[in-house]
Amino acid sequence: MTPPNEVDGPLPTDYEIAQSTEMEPIWELVEPWGLGLDDLQYFGSYTAKVKHDAIDRLREQAEDRPNNLVLVTGMTPTPKGEGKTVTTVGLGQTLNHIGEEAMIAIREPSLGPVFGVKGGAAGGGRSQVLPMEEINLHFTGDLHALTSAHNLIAAMLDAKISQGDELDIDVNDVSWPRAIDMNDRVLRETVVGLGGKTGGTPRENQFLLTAASELMAVLCMASGLGDLKERVARIIVAYDTDGEPITVDDIEATGAVTMLLRDAIKPNVVQTIEGTPAFVHGGPFANIAHGTNSLMADKAAFGMADYLVTEAGFGSDLGAEKFLNIVCRLGEMEPNAVVLVSSVRALKYHGENMWPADYDDIDAAGTGAVERGLENLDKHVENLQKFGVPVVVAVNRFPDDSDEEVNVVLDHCRDELGVAAAESTVFENGSEGGVDLAERVVEAVESGEADYAPLYEDEDSIKEKIHTVATEVYGADGVKYTGGADRDIERMEELGFGDFPVCMSKTFHSLSDDASKKGAPTGWELEIREVYPSAGAGFLVALTGDVLTLPGLPSDPAAAGMDIDADGDISGLF
């Protein structure tokens, strides 16, 4: 969420802007982009899923198109976010405004954060996707389908455990948690199966946010319904008393789980406030999962337009690193440019070494704080350049930012880092506010400078991969393995997962694994405490420090400020 404009009087809320925008029926909107009436499965007039036949056709069409891939990422964010989705939507709109053909692909919001701190997650101001209230609430039901499918696996697994099965499941080695799409801290650690014999077998159980479920990753990595089913079948849910994996297929849940996901696997297409088509599909978090929308959406978009603008969650150390090391590797994509979103506020936040709770005091900080904060920006630029992709820094300008502050950033990027940079006011002005940025992006893409390569090879050992990310991206001196991490890694190698890429689970509040360290921390070691397989998704997950897989509600949750009147008009959803 971006604060209201205090200069020209208050901007209308995101919801008010959305309500005052006349949308085009989605079938009319996408028709010039190559999708016909029968290619869509409708949810009202403004939201549709794209059918499998059409996806296949678009994939073929993509072979004759440029497939220009622009990734939007950000510096280490403040508690309010730096406007990455706003910039993604705004850049997509502006590319079309200046005569290119561009599609947008972003993640689906998760109800948990919507009701927690964050409010809506559909962009904002004059750069949002519509219908924002539906996208932010139940949308096409994908998150609900994933939650149900996740918990069906859990119920079938516990039924096997308590009804005495032939699989010989080790009740102390169950790796499949339960899932909920709600920030509900008391479900993080629970004991289930109480109440006597009919209540099942007592054991510890965790709930995680649906966005952190392996099923979400599986959905985002799958190439179609058949591939989805194969991936679901491979998911490891527990180990037997000999330490051998028990899969979803072993507990006979593959068919029913895939059936529950038969619509969720189809990408959702909607429109931006300026009528640019956007895929909003899949929503893995970037701190605890891989953090980018579905590959199916990306691949379809390449068949519809020359440019695809997509977003990766949090900073270059999280969503972007995973997009570049994992998603592009497994999905066989090559990015042509990366946009790094920064803001004066975020630079001050790093420059002042602030705690999230002090964020409201940020306006008091001066230009000196901006300058001191640049070390965080510099490290993100450096990280992205290591992948061989040209970087364009976007300064997402807020109404209170002074010209002097903005110029500190622009000059630093151009003169000291030698990278392209542009300010962006797409929140307030839509595509009128993104022309300079869009032109820099087109230049970067057309320069042909991109020479993308991931930072490690499949054949590198698991520890080498982790070491590479820790030292090259996070700026750590090295890695220490605690708890059962060494044993986990041995097991992964024994199970034949040694050539998987590694999805790191790390705090988003810092480049390091210590949320309180701002800027670009040096002189520290990354701690890995657990490594487990996402066999369905095709990667390993390495847990660092204390990363919450289920956030809680704050003492004053966003939900408490939300309302709906008897006519159905919503307030408080931003």
Which of 480, 483, 525, 564 is in the footprint of a copy of itself by CB under 8 A? 564
Strands 337-342 and 391-396: parallel
Task: Give the span between the Cα atoms of 477 and 458, in whole angstroms.
Answer: 23
Q: Is 414 exposed, middle or buried (0-12, 13-18, 19+ CB in 10 A)?
A: middle
Q: Of 189 and 446, which CB lies nearer to a copy of itself in the complex structure?
A: 189
83 is in an annotated binding site: yes
Q: Which amino acid is at 478?
A: G
C-alpha angle 447-432-439 in degrees, rounded to nearest 5: 5
Q: Of 7 and 566, which CB lies nearer to a copy of itself in the complex structure?
A: 566
Cα dihedral sign for 457, 462, 463, 466? positive
Q: Cis peptide before 245, with omega less than 30 degrees from 0?
A: no
Site string for a copy of itself, 22-51 (x = CB under 8 A): -------------------xxxxx------
78 is in an annotated binding site: yes
Task: Give the span between the Cα atoms of 309 and 59, in whole angstroms.
Answer: 17
84 is in an annotated binding site: yes
Query: Is 141 a residue that touches a copy of itself (CB under 8 A)?
Result: yes
Query: Is 321 a residue that touches a copy of itself (CB under 8 A)?
Result: no
Q: What residues from 118 to 137 belong to the interface with a copy of itself (CB under 8 A)?
A: 137
Report the nearest approach of a copy of itself to the CB of residue 198 (Å): 7
Q: What residues from 218 to 257 belong to the interface with a copy of itself (CB under 8 A)?
A: 224-226, 229, 252-256
Instruction: Report the Cα–Cα distance between both ends of the chain, in Å, rounded.
Output: 7
Report the nearest approach of a copy of itself to the CB of residue 192 (Å): 4
82 is in an annotated binding site: yes
> Cβ(523)–Cβ(476) under 8 Å?
no
80 is in an annotated binding site: yes
Which of 188, 386, 414, 491 is in the footprint of a copy of itself by CB under 8 A? 188
Could you give the C-alpha distances from 346 to 73, 85, 351, 359, 467, in angstroms and in order? 14, 16, 8, 10, 28
Could you give the C-alpha distances from 299 to 302, 335, 390, in angstroms and in order? 5, 13, 22
Report the nearest approach of a copy of itself to the CB of residue 120 (Å): 12
Task: Give the span between the Cα atoms of 441 and 393, in whole angstroms.
Answer: 10
Task: Give the span between the Cα atoms of 200 and 163, in whole angstroms.
Answer: 8
Q: Of 256 and 455, which CB lies nearer to a copy of itself in the complex structure?
A: 256
**Tokens 């102390």 belong to which residue?**
172
Which of 32, 194, 361, 496 is in the footprint of a copy of itself by CB under 8 A? 194
Which of 79, 200, 331, 545 is in the footprint of a copy of itself by CB under 8 A? 200
Which of 173, 189, 403, 477 is in the footprint of a copy of itself by CB under 8 A? 189
What 8-state DSSP symbol labels residue 526?
E
Which of 121, 180, 246, 547 is in the footprint of a copy of itself by CB under 8 A? 180
Site string for a copy of itself, 49-78 (x = CB under 8 A): ---x--------------------------
Report the nearest approach of a copy of itself to the CB of residue 540 (Å): 24
Q: Is 367 exposed, middle or buried (0-12, 13-18, 19+ CB in 10 A)?
A: middle
Among 148-156, 308-316, 464-472, 477-485, which window interacts with a copy of itself (CB under 8 A)?
A: 148-156
Annotated binding site for ATP: 78-85
